[in-house]
Each structure stands twice: as C-alpha cells, then as structure tokens.
Amino acid sequence: MLSNAIRIPAAPTPPAEIDRTLVWLTVLLLGLGVVMVYSASIAIAEGGRATGNQATYYLARHAVFVALSVLAGLIAFQIPTRLWQRFALHLFLIGLVLLLLVLIPGIGREVNGARRWIPLIVFNLQPSELMKVFAVLYAADYTVRKAAFMHSLSRGFLPLFSVMLLTGGLLLREPDFGAFAVITVIAMGILFLGGMNWKLFAGLIVMLVAGFVALIWFSPYRMQRILGFLDPWSDPYGKGYQLSHALIAFGRGEWLGVGLGGSVEKLFYLPEAHTDFLLAVIAEELGFVSVLAIVVMFAWIVWRAFAIGRRAAFQERYYAALVAQGIGLWIGVQAIINMGVNMGVLPTKGLTLPLLSFGGSAITATCVAIAILLRIDWENRQHARGFKV
C-alpha cells in the first residue's frame, strides 16, 4: 500500500563516459565508406590484372583496413593525453625519418610519378598520413611550451616555422602538395589558437599565399591543374578530364541519385573513383541529399572537436585543448578540400575524403585521431567529476 501511495523517483541516468554522438558519426562514415568503395571499385577491380579480376578486391582490402584502423583507435584511446605530449617530439622525428625513407629509391614506391609509399609486404605505408597526426601532437606541445613567447618572431614563430619548412620540403619532394597544405594549416592554426600575435599571423598568411602561388607558378603540372580547374570544358579529354567527369556525376545524381550501384562515371570514366573522387560517385548514386548529409556529419565532428577543446581549455588542460582543436582543423580542412575538388570549387588535388575513401594509412591515421579526441573528452568528463587522469 505504501509503495502505491508514494512515488519513488527513478535514479538519475549517469552521464555518458564518452561522446556517443562522435562515435556514431565515425561509425556511420566508416560504414558508408565500405559500401561506396565497393560500389565505386567494382568495375576497375573486375577489369584489372593486378586485382585478379576479382570484383571484391578493393572491398576486402578496405574492410581489413577499417577493422585494423578501429583496432588502432581502440589502442590509442587507452593512452593518456600526458603520454602523447611526452612523446610528441619523438613521434614527429619518427615521421621525419619516414618521410626521408620514402624518397630513397628501392625503399619508397613510385606510382604515377609520385613516391609516397613504403611497401610493407601486405600493405603500403603512406608516411604523409601519419605525419598529420604527429604534426598535431607536436605543434600543440610546442605551442604550450612556448606560450610565453607567442608574441616573439624569433623565439615563438621561427623555430616551428623552420621545422615545418623541412617537413614541407620533404613532402614536396614526393610530391604531395595536398598533405603539405593540410599540415601547414594544422601547424599555423594551432599556433593561432595558442595565442600567436595576430600581426605575425597576418604576415604569415601573406607569406604562405605568396609561397603557394610561387609553387604553382614554377611547377608546370600544377599550373596545368589550375588551368584545367578554371575551364575544364576547354580540354575535357586532357587537363580538364577528372573535373569534367566529376561534374557530370554530380549532374546525373540530381537530388536523390540514380540508385546504389547505378553510376556510369565509375565505369572507367572517372579516375580514382574509389579514392579522391569517391564523393562524385556518392553524388551520382545517392544524390545531393546524401552529399549534404555527409557535409553535416563532418561539420558536426569539427564542432564537437572544438567544443571538446574549449572544455579542456576551461579546465586549464591547454595541450589537450590544442590537440582536440588541431584534429578538428585537420579533418575539417581535408574534407573541405576534397569536397571542393569534387564539386569544381577548388583545383584538383590528391586528397582523400576522411573516413570514407579507400586508403589504409589515411583511415588508420584518422581513426587514431578520433580516438585521441574521444580520450580527451573522456578525460574532460573525469576531470569534471574530480578524478585525476
């Protein structure tokens, strides 16, 4: 009788230990990537001798890459942020050594004129992808250590600039202009977020723009890409080939797409359909609505990264804050560049779409970065409850 007369309130739901939304966004993008890589690669897999004419060649490899990347992420999540900070310089030096090794004939593998991979029996390691993670960790550590000198050109800016100049030189020797651009944005963005003098930052932006223009102006193949971007229809079978077919794919897809598996452009028309131009195949088969959903998911991930970073900064965990926001910058900028290239808004550049495109090193690096971001968020929640992490 008493239990019927008195309502006992239910126990409050304990707060989540991790950001479940961020986890589900990552899972959704990885799952969509598996489906679309298979769809985009069937034709090229069936028609290639290197693939043994097996339609599931890229699907099988991509599924293995995703599984290993998730495992790597689970391991990375177990590592406290303070350990990432302690070994940030060591990891960055390892990245530089790998960038040097990839340039050595007999060690680095050359494909289509670019030497970006180190063969490791069962897969090819792309050091530039790992370097993105290492750049985030090192730039954040440097900024925290040099916080008192962020207004000084000689003591705050130039040391990191020199290191990144060396890194950029190695990347341009491959050449990998896309990775160079992303890593530059990561380093400079973290410096700015860490309190770099705005006048120095403005001057740096001018220098970077001038440097990028010079790299394009004095490089014939980069200039050809710019010309193809400005008017792809003037030479649709030459320098405008990739972009023109990507635009055709977007046009065919309209709002809801032609249906999963129904892409025509992936049938040997659109180069790199399962890697750099996967978004064009998604647009053709699943329509603009799906592209918009992908944009929203990436925007959500970036927003969560900056929100996690702000919470860490509020708790005076400044290294964790800069790492979280650096990861947000990296994923956001790379996604914007890839989408811009696919939509004809930016010149053609070999950058994959994070978590979606085929590529073992890229998926592994991104999953590790997401795991580090989740670890920072977990530590934020433990810190808020009064636990030491």
Give φ, ψ of 364 to 5 degrees.
-60, -45
The pLDDT of residue 51: 79
Q: What is the pLDDT of residue 388?
A: 73
pLDDT at 11: 45
CA–CA separation, 304 and 227 (whole Å)? 37
Whole-structure pTM value: 0.91
Which residues of the chain fall below pLDDT 70?
1-16, 212, 218-219, 221-222, 225, 227-229
pLDDT tens-digit readout, 172-185: 888 888 898 899 89
Q: How confident is the model over 53-83, as pLDDT tens digits? A: 788 999 999 999 999 999 999 999 999 999 9
Q: Residue 94: its pLDDT value, please?
A: 96
